[in-house]
Amino acid sequence: MGNVFVLDHPLIQHKLTYIRSKETGTKEFRELVDEVAGLMAFEITRDLPVEEKTIETPVTTAVTKTLSGKKIGLVPILRAGLGMVDGVLRLIPTAKVGHVGLYRDPETLKPVEYYIKLPSDIQERELIVIDPMLATGGSASDAIASLKKRGATNIKLMCLIAAPEGVELVKKDHPDVDIYLAALDEKLNEKGYIVPGLGDAGDRLYGTK
Ligand code: PRP
Ligand code: URA
């Protein structure tokens, strides 16, 4: 069964408070989401494999460590997932980036896929699916299913805030996928928004309504 990790590092929690606040405007919201994504990436990559490498320092020969070359792919779910990509890329600059376009039908709350473009070798990569919000879980679950259909076998999911319903759906549909969150909130409201949440992530990132 996939694990759920809530990354309760004080810096993440501090910044998340300002991300949630309705007083926070678009520019600051975008900057904070970017920063928290980077901090989360630091935790999510904790188990990346390393190998020993012999190098010469100015003083002596040393056997030290480098990443063992495992290939990573980032897959933001459009559009709000885009707001977290650069923060992760700063830590993993060689990652390739695929995109899955999904929107949630406001009536049915079911995800509708409108775009997908992925690196050609996703089956060889560890993929991190990125979306700030895991609400009903439909979007993330469908995006992961789309990746699996195309051969991906090693997938993690990274979200800022989740509702219990979303976590349960992803765990049920994709028990092999570990989920990384900055917060697990209380519930969904009648419109499918996470409570207390942060509102509409896409609108807050891009200043739309
Ligand atoms: C938001 C969010 C997720 C989805 C979560 O996107 O970024 O993708 O809702 O909801 P779910 O877990 O119930 O599927 P939205 O559909 O608003 O699209 P947008 O990013 O284009 O604004
Ligand atoms: N999508 C959002 O952007 N926010 C929510 O609270 C739920 C879905």
**Each residue of 134-157: pLDDT tens digit?**
999 999 999 999 999 999 999 999
Q: What is the DSSP letter of 102?
A: E
Contacts of 13 (CB under 8 A, 6+ apart): 182, 183
Is the beta carbon of 193 within 6 A of some atom in ligand 2? yes
Three-state secondary-structure class, residue 89: helix
* pTM for the predicted model, two decimal places: 0.95
Task: Give residue 23's Cα distance to chain centre.
Answer: 24
In this prediction, residue 106 has a pLDDT band, given cuts at 50, 70 and 90, of: confident
**Each residue of 46-82: pLDDT tens digit?**
989 999 999 999 999 999 999 987 799 999 999 999 9
How many angstroms does the Cα of residue 171 sit away from the middle of ligand 1?
18
Q: Is 48 annotated as a binding residue?
A: no
Is the beta carbon of 197 within 6 A of some atom in ligand 2? yes
Is the beta carbon of 103 within 6 A of some atom in ligand 2? no
Between helices 26-44 and 10-20, what is the axis angle to 10°?
A: 150
Three-state secondary-structure class, residue 32: helix
